[in-house]
């Protein structure tokens, strides 16, 4: 019976939100191109999910900091 391929080692978290977003955009473009083999597509999907979770966590952390600065009330965003 053939062995299942070994799971790839988890990749480190990106250095910043911007780096994660850039990597995610590049990954989506490669997946959407339809040129990746199935195994690479699956690995790309898993990495993309990890990057998305990283970005969401960063955004939530910033939102929590803003709530603290605004004395517990989240204020609507206005650009002046």
* pLDDT in the model for residue 68: 75
* pLDDT in the model for residue 4: 53
Domains of the chain, residue spans: 38-72
Residues 28 and 44: beta-carbon distance below 8 Å: no
Is pTM beyond 0.85? Reply is no
Residue 41, Ramachandran bin (φ over 0: left; ψ between -120 and 50: alpha; else beta) = alpha
Q: Measure the CA–CA gap between 32 and 27, rounded to whole angstroms.
A: 9
- Mean pLDDT per block of 10 residues along the chain (80 residues) reads 58 91 95 92 94 95 81 65
* pLDDT in the model for residue 5: 54
Instruction: Label residue 59 exposed, middle or buried (CB < 10 Å: 0-12, 13-18, 19+).
Output: exposed
């Amino acid at each position: 019976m053939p062995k299942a391929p070994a799971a790839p080692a988890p990749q480190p978290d990106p250095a910043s939100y911007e780096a994660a977003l850039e990597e995610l955009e590049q990954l989506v473009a490669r997946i959407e191109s339809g040129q990746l083999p199935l195994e690479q597509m699956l690995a790309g999907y898993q990495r993309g999910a990890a990057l998305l979770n990283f970005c969401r966590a960063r955004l939530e952390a910033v939102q929590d900091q803003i709530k603290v600065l605004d004395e517990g009330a989240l204020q609507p965003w206005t650009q002046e």
